[in-house]
Structure 1
Amino acid sequence: MMHILLVASFTLPFAYCKTSGELCKGTGERAPDGNWYCSEVRAITYRNISQAGVYNRTTYVDPGAGICGHETVQYGGTGPLTPLFGEVSMHLRGPMNVSKLAVYQLPSDMHTLQKRKTIPFYNRRRALRKREVGLMGQSPHQAPQQGLLLDKRTHNTSTSCRPRTITATVTVTDCELNVPTTTTVPTRNTTCNSPALPCMSTPRISVPSVRRSRTDCTYKNAAAAATVLEELVATATSHPIEQAGRAAMRHVVREAAADWSRVAYYRSVAPAEATGLSFLANLGDPLQSGTFDYAFGNSLSYVSSNGGKVTSESMPFEGTLGTSEREIAVFSDKACDQDCPYWRPNATSHFGWSGSSKAFFIEFQMDHYQNLGNDQGLISDAPAWWFLNAAIPRILQYGNDRNNVPCSCWSTGCGEFDAFELLGNGEERAKSTLHRQGNLEGGDSNYFKRPVGRMLKFAVIWHYPSITARVLDDDFDFSASLSSDQMQQLVSYDADSWVHSLFAIGS
């Protein structure tokens, strides 16, 4: 990509994880030397990504001096500053054909984003103006002004920084409770994927013991878990527990039973549709959208439907990235406002998707195509689907300042998750990796098979405190909502499975 040549030195936030010749952490085939080596799997769960840590957040970008400033951020196990529990952006690199994209969140997490200002696609803006002319009897000369008024509506931009949890299955007492007087119940979700794993929990409150005996560590449906929690709340009436604690428990019950709503959707096949999404690329041009300077190169900008040219307005994606020379960054359709973390001056900036409960679904195909021009230092025929802390592309996805200091927070560990990445020219094995430099990180050595000559449905699901990437059945429907039971089935781990690998990030 030509814009990268304008930067003297730059870093590549791509995954360089373990190769198939290294030991696997999960499933695999035992070689004659007794070691376990990689194998094709259908799902990989990165278990317990919730740990405290530190990274450097960008506080200013000075294009004149070519310098970026930073401050140290210390974060806890969850919250808006925790890598990948805060806002993330979605990224696509060719060669790739994308048929569908869908983003899901719980209602409590999607509420704040819905308040933000929507930036419509160009064709949608024209449709709005046409509709207003028809409904209000305005002349064509008046219609554009009305359309602009619609674009400038203001909304309440208050935001909640309260940590969210996600898994729809509440595993409070699946592990047998047998305490003489009292026991502890998590105010958030207790996550335990199989009897072989210890239960992991977030902050706790003490309530009287309710003895439950089950043979596994997971309630199989939200209704059963909700019933147990309601009983626990009821028994707490005679116990000196604060009202806030009981309210928190009831909130967990509501979250457990909630459906996941589709907050963004795209499909390339007729009838084409794109709602809740913005498609950007590092092609900034101050005459159209985004910005450019000789210190940091091109910022994010709106991009043409094939990802190849900067545009002045948000455009729908046509679904094809012809080679690895084409990348697209996908954000929500909400433009950054005063509540958005710092972004590069004059860049095109949008909100990503935040919370520890979010899910991304894709249907794509990755046939083999070599780069058309020179590689410009990049790999060829190496498609990828990955997620970044949204602050990275809003600042500078690729590049250092003039003191050779990384401008974004990527190098200090603010978070990247590579869900489906081919690491070399013509590779057939897609790898996954969690990047948090200087903090706990890692990559499972098992792999997903590249979809050549066929479409593949795939999902990445944040379910506190873990992330699961998995292949979906061909008939899986990206419907307007998904039940908590459906989500639980997608992320459930079977210790006896040969096609679901477990990679523990934290203990």
Structure 2
Amino acid sequence: MPLFSKTALMGAVLALGQFSNAKQVINNVWYCDEVTKMQYQNVGCSGTYKTPSVMTDNSGQCVVNYAEQAYSGPLAPLNNQITFHLRGPLKLYNFAAYYIDNTPDDEDTPQTYGARAKREEVHEKNRRFDHRHHHEKRKVKTEVVEEVVTITRYADTPEPSSTIELTAAPSGVVANAYKSKSGKPKKPATGDLWKRVGFYDSGKQILEGATFLNNKGGQGSGTWTGCFGNSLSHMSADGQSGSPTPQILADNTLFGVNEEFSIWTNQSCDGTCGYSYGADTCYRGWDGDNKVFVFKFTMPPGHTDDSNIYGNSNMPAIWSLNSLIGRTQQYPSNKDWSCWDSGCGEFDIWEVLYPQAPACEFMTSTLHSAQGNPGTGKGGGGTCDYFKRPTDGTFTGMVSYLSDGTITIQKLADDWDFPEYLTTDDIKKGFSASMPSFKVAS
């Protein structure tokens, strides 16, 4: 795949004057100050991107049809469905997703969220060195000869079709639903009330409203072809293989160097998701103009390999992608087999860019979209500030995608308890006019 080099990208951002206070340069990456929060402003633009609409392997002849997808809005294209992707060395302890829910607690009316809610209101690799999570895809067919699958009782979880209703979870989704000790709080006098609609707790083995997938199609779920390789698959509990059904990620699971998985909703696609190469693993992503996510994780040291800086040695990361990328080809051998190159959007939240010290201790962030460079996936940009990587402890961090056109990342207290409800004040209390920020070019 043609590379958009890191040097070129950093040069472009330097031209915008973002790194005038840079303190050190490591492997062409500029680093400034350790921070506990940072904000991206002026996120969102209008345009179109190209995405596969059909992918067919005709006896080794790879046939792909395409569709043009229009986007607009204050977060566009990241107001489309997004998914979260995690790469080791990493352990995930908790995950939570929050959406606005201002329904009075004495009403039974189902609450909508995401893009559909907005419509109803109106109408009532890492090739990180080319700054994308797209590696060359190896077409390796894998099979599971024998697998033991544990099925647990299903949990009642929110299912947003046109509205959120309490319905039985799709096949294989897991039990032990988290129950709040108190009732729903009242809407605050200012701002909104936010409800947790997705949740994972490693120690308590709780999974609500979310699904873990990996790129091992052909192992129990998903598909494999000689043309396109592995699709998405349901992930086994130990994270090492595919599974016929969704599973809870086992407690204290360590993902090693270059091992990845992704987090989706537990809502099967209903014709509004676009094409999916693996039809039985087609889940909705997290959509809408207002959405907040919290992760608790650790990134222990991994082996390093200076001879292959493109191999993600000791370079863990957490990032979000337009969900269409995962449903087609996250790591295509042909760049057109994904909408990434035409600008459908990626946001790197916490990412280590180099395997050796001191850079392996720094988690950086970057926006990749057409913003500032229409018609391509090479706009966006980022700050040279960084978060401290949690190598021997945990890091609890929140990323908020908001309708004012901002994406904010902030470190939370170690004892943050993933409550069932948040307020806008809870989300924004760490914000300040003086916090590090990056304004994306129009």
Does the TM-score normalized on the shorter chain lie above 0.5? yes
CA RMSD of aligned residues (A): 3.5
**Is the 1:45–1:502 Cα contact (8 Å) retained in structure 2?**
yes
2:234 alignment partner, one of 302, 309, 313: 302
> Counterpart of 1:104 in 2: which secondary structure?
strand
Q: Distance in 2 between matches of 1:15 and 1:312?
A: 42
Matched, 1:109 2:119: no
Q: Distance in 2 between matches of 1:15 and 1:97?
A: 31
The one-letter code sitting in structure 2 at the alignment partner of 1:475 is D
Distance 1:448 1:337, change over 3 A: same
Matched, 1:76 2:102: no
Shift of 1:53: 2.4
1:223 alignment partner, one of 189, 210, 215: 189
2:386 alignment partner, one of 447, 456, 459: 447
**Is the 2:45–2:77 Cα contact (8 Å) retained in structure 1?**
no
Distance 1:364 1:503, change over 3 A: same
Matched, 1:356 2:294: no
The one-letter code sitting in structure 2 at the alignment partner of 1:63 is D
2:415 alignment partner, one of 457, 475, 489: 475
Q: Larger % of strand: which?
A: 2
Q: Which region of structure 1 is more displaced relative to structure 2, 313-322 or 363-372?
A: 363-372
Shift of 1:471: 1.0
Count of residues in correspondence between the two structures: 357
Q: Distance in 1 between matches of 2:367 and 2:36?
A: 18
Q: Distance in 1 between matches of 2:5 and 2:287?
A: 20
Matched, 1:365 2:305: no
Q: Distance in 2 between matches of 1:30 and 1:95?
A: 27
> Counterpart of 2:216 in 1: which secondary structure?
coil
The one-letter code sitting in structure 2 at the alignment partner of 1:44 is M
Q: Distance in 2 between matches of 1:56 and 1:326?
A: 28
Between Structure 1 and Structure 2, whose CA radius of gyration is higher?
Answer: 1
Distance 1:482 1:157, change over 3 A: closer
> Counterpart of 1:127 in 2: which secondary structure?
coil
Partner of residue 199, structure 2:
265
Q: Distance in 2 between matches of 1:365 and 1:455?
A: 5
Q: Distance in 2 between matches of 1:277 and 1:425?
A: 31
**Is the 1:45–1:467 Cα contact (8 Å) retained in structure 2?**
yes
> Counterpart of 2:314 in 1: which secondary structure?
coil
Shift of 1:422: 0.6
Partner of residue 183, structure 1:
none
Shift of 1:326: 1.0
Deviations 1:210-236 (A, max 9, x none): xxxxxxxxxxx9635xxxxxxxxxxxx
Partner of residue 345, structure 2:
415
Matched, 1:331 2:264: yes
Q: Distance in 1 between matches of 2:281 and 2:214?
A: 10
**Is the 1:92–1:385 Cα contact (8 Å) retained in structure 2?**
yes
Shift of 1:506: 3.8
Matched, 1:59 2:53: yes
2:427 alignment partner, one of 461, 464, 487: 487
Q: Distance in 1 between matches of 2:309 and 2:225?
A: 19
Shift of 1:393: 0.3
Where does 1:87-486 land on structure 2 (aligned, <5 Å)?
A: 87-107=81-101, 108-109=112-113, 126-127=152-153, 157-158=161-162, 223=189, 256=191, 258-269=192-203, 271-285=204-218, 288-318=220-250, 319-346=252-279, 348-370=281-303, 378-400=311-333, 404-426=334-356, 427-437=360-370, 438-439=373-374, 440-464=379-403, 465-486=405-426
- Indicate the percent of aligned positions where both proteins have the same amino acid: 29
The one-letter code sitting in structure 1 at the alignment partner of 2:327 is R
**Is the 1:17–1:443 Cα contact (8 Å) retained in structure 2?**
no
Q: Distance in 1 between matches of 2:5 and 2:228?
A: 16
Q: Distance in 2 between matches of 1:376 and 1:302?
A: 30
Deviations 1:453-495 (A, max 9, x none): 11111111011211001111223221001012112214x2323
Distance 1:487 1:350, change over 3 A: same
Deviations 1:254-310 (A, max 9, x none): xx3x311001111111x221111111111001x610000010100000111222111
**Is the 1:22–1:445 Cα contact (8 Å) retained in structure 2?**
no
The one-letter code sitting in structure 2 at the alignment partner of 1:308 is Q
Q: Distance in 2 between matches of 1:12 and 1:311?
A: 35
Could you tell me which runs of 5 or more consecutive residues in structure 1 were left unpaired when the two chains were aligned: 1-8, 114-121, 132-149, 161-220, 225-255
Deviations 1:20-55 (A, max 9, x none): x96973895779xxxx96111111111011221221
> Counterpart of 2:189 in 1: which secondary structure?
helix
Q: Distance in 2 between matches of 1:335 and 1:450?
A: 34
Q: Distance in 1 between matches of 2:346 and 2:389?
A: 21
Distance 1:443 1:323, change over 3 A: same
**Is the 2:92–2:202 Cα contact (8 Å) retained in structure 1?**
yes
Shift of 1:68: 2.0
The one-letter code sitting in structure 1 at the alignment partner of 2:113 is D
Deviations 1:141-168 (A, max 9, x none): xxxxxxxxx99xxx894479xxxxxxxx
Q: Distance in 2 between matches of 1:330 and 1:30?
A: 35
**TM-score with structure 1 length normalisation?**
0.63
Q: Distance in 1 between matches of 2:265 and 2:8?
A: 28
Shift of 1:14: 11
> Counterpart of 1:59 in 2: which secondary structure?
strand
Distance 1:72 1:112, change over 3 A: closer
The one-letter code sitting in structure 2 at the alignment partner of 1:359 is V
Q: Distance in 1 between matches of 2:366 and 2:7?
A: 6
Shift of 1:321: 3.4
Q: Distance in 1 between matches of 2:43 and 2:74?
A: 9
Distance 1:375 1:259, change over 3 A: same
Partner of residue 145, structure 1:
none
Matched, 1:25 2:21: no
Deviations 1:186-243 (A, max 9, x none): xxxxxxxxxxxxxxxxxxxxxxxxxxxxxxxxxxx9635xxxxxxxxxxxxxxxxxxx
**Is the 1:15–1:423 Cα contact (8 Å) retained in structure 2?**
no
> Counterpart of 1:100 in 2: which secondary structure?
strand
Q: Distance in 2 between matches of 1:307 and 1:18?
A: 34
Q: Distance in 1 between matches of 2:19 and 2:5?
A: 25
Deviations 1:53-82 (A, max 9, x none): 221122211222313222333322258xx3
Shift of 1:94: 0.5
Shift of 1:452: 1.2
Shift of 1:377: 6.1
**TM-score with structure 2 length normalisation?**
0.72
The one-letter code sitting in structure 1 at the alignment partner of 2:311 is L
The one-letter code sitting in structure 1 at the alignment partner of 2:32 is C
Q: Distance in 1 between matches of 2:160 and 2:429?
A: 36
Partner of residue 217, structure 1:
none
Q: Which has the higher contact order (CA 8 A, sep 6+)?
A: 1
